[in-house]
Chains A and B, each alone.
Chain A
Amino acid sequence: MGVVDILIKFGLVLIIFLISLVIAMYSTYAERKIAAFFQDRIGPNRAGPWGLLQPLADGGKMFLKEEIIPTHANAFLFIAGPSLAIMTACIGSAVIPWGQQMTIGTRVIDLQVADINVGLLYIFGVVSLGVYGVMIGGWASNNKYSLLGAIRAASQNISYEISMGLSIIALLMVTGTLSLRQIAEQQHSWHWNILYQPLGFLLFIVCAFAETNRTPFDLPECETELVGGYHTEYSSMKLGFYLFAEYINMFISSAVMATLYWGGYNYPGMDWVLAHTGPAIGPLIGVVVLFAKIFLFIFFFMWVRWTIPRFRYDQLMDLGWKILIPLAIANIIITGVWMTFIK
């Protein structure tokens, strides 16, 4: 691996990181605009044309607000909580294949940071690690509401991880590989996994909502019961990190769903486009297609948030343990039967 290769990898990491942050920033704007649309309002429209500078204004406000650490809070863990939350949110993007290999001159560039052979499990591991940020922050705040939020986050995360894992097992039976690059390549020319795993995708998206703490599963920060949930005591950029982490998680899980089930960077007529645009520009169109899919999923996340009310806590546990897990096991059995007798 030459110096140039390392520099290219480094540049790719930097670009993905910046894109994640910009998308997270503008997701807040999109969320407010979409909420306004659903509620027949106008939404933010003061900062810049159509309120486009609103996220920057919000960010500036977050940085300039007073930093408060409660007296009896554990200061180190109080700061470690949001840091951990944003770190686990950012490292998930390392294994996602953003496009096909680009060829510029004689140099082949992978549009993926690391193609490890356990990529799918890596994503799963990062997701399961994400709850620590919420738990540590909620506990270190030394506040009853925060603690309750943290405990809810832990039990919700564990419960929905099981059905998420089981739905991934059914997907693995179809793909036969854990590498996300190979999974994306297999879905070339309409072999999209959603056609083979419709039930699996449904289970996965419900679990993704639960793992990212989005409504209707946002019980850890349920403001009608818990003031602000795990981030009750947080102010300034530490609160900003928690909110940011949620939006980055949403972006990453949309990318994972698009890659695993909706064909990734593949699109109809791909070979024709690739033959006519050449190996340097062609893959970039695939990247644009992948991002279009990701934005559709992000819109779906917001659509659900402003349409469906929050679950009650017992309903959440019932859904996770009594409906999703049996369905996921049934899905594995159906997939097994289908692979043995029909395929």
Chain B
Amino acid sequence: MSTFYFIAFLSIFFSILVITAKNPVHSILYLILTFFTFTIHYVLLNAQFLAIVNFIVYMGAILVLFLYTLMLINLNKESEPRKSNVVKIAGFVGGGCFLLTIIAAVKAFNISQPVVLNDPNLGLVKNLGKILFNEYLLPFEVSSVLLLSAMVGAVLLATKDPKTT
């Protein structure tokens, strides 16, 4: 339990650093650390497959792209125009409303009765695969075909010769 609290503390600590860091590249690096703590959370929950997929997809691919884009556009404190006060107030109000909604949603949950998993090894690859390919076969297959077709479509758009169109 103490491990959980320590990792949870790190998650919150790094996510606060993400929004307070002045340099956008630093903020992405803190975001990477935040996602790494999420991976540890998954391992603590005995969901090894989810942990490693979070590691590969979020830390290894999506955040590399984030970092890539930020390095390309090369944001600086000096060149960045100051936001006007109206935008700041609007952001404050919007964020406050969002926080309120989240707190209300969390309070609506009945936390005093925690959900106990029937099978604590549910997160292992074997058990997860059995559930995905038995109970949720159709949604799983449909979503995988959708993702694959999105990727193939992107490649197809890139291969198209601009002279013929």
Contact = CB atoms under 8 A, between A and B. Distances in A.
Interface residues on A, range: 20 to 34
A142 to B, nearest CB: 11
Nearest to A154: B68
A249 to B, nearest CB: 15
Interface string B56-71: 1001110011011001
A150 B71 contact: yes
A275 to B, nearest CB: 33
B10 interface: no
B64 A128 contact: yes
A154 B64 contact: yes
A90 B151 CA distance: 32
Nearest to B39: A125
Summarize A's interface: helix, strand, loop or mixed: helix
Contacts of A322: 155, 158-159
A135 B67 contact: yes
Given A158-B61, A325-B155, A151 B52 contact: no
A118 B49 contact: yes
A161 B61 contact: yes
B152 A128 contact: no
A162 B60 CA distance: 11
A129 B49 CA distance: 17
Interface string B33-65: 000000000000000110011011001110011
A124 interface: yes
Interface in B67-91: 67-68, 71-72, 74
B126 interface: yes
Interface in A93-137: 116-118, 121-122, 124-125, 127-129, 131-132, 135-136
Given A162-B151, A322-B155, A128 B48 contact: no
A234 interface: no
Nearest to B154: A321
A151 B25 contact: no
Contacts of A16: none
B64 A131 contact: yes
A132 B65 CA distance: 11
B150 interface: no
Kindly name the residue among A118, A136, A322, A329 whose own CB sees the greatest number of chain B CB atoms within 10 A: A118
A178 interface: yes
Interface in A136-174: 136, 139, 147, 150-151, 154-155, 157-158, 161-162
A238 to B, nearest CB: 18
B58 to A, nearest CB: 10
A128 B60 contact: yes
Interface in B2-41: 25, 29, 32
Given A139-B71, A322-B158, A128 B49 contact: no
A329 B152 CA distance: 10
Contact of A125 (B25, B60, B125): B60
Contact of B48 (A117, A129, A131, A154): A117
A157 B56 CA distance: 12
Given A117-B125, A128-B61, A322-B159, A154 B53 contact: no
Contacts of A139: 25, 67, 71
Given A147-B74, A329-B152, 12 more contacts: A117-B48, A117-B124, A118-B49, A118-B52, A121-B53, A128-B60, A136-B29, A139-B25, A139-B71, A150-B71, A154-B64, A329-B148
* Top 10 closest pairs, chain A to chain B, by CB: A128-B60, A154-B68, A121-B52, A125-B55, A125-B56, A118-B52, A322-B159, A118-B48, A154-B64, A321-B155
Interface of B: 25, 29, 32, 48-49, 52-53, 55-56, 59-61, 64-65, 67-68, 71-72, 74, 124-126, 148, 151-152, 155, 158-159
6 contacts: A117-B126, A125-B52, A125-B56, A128-B60, A157-B64, A158-B64
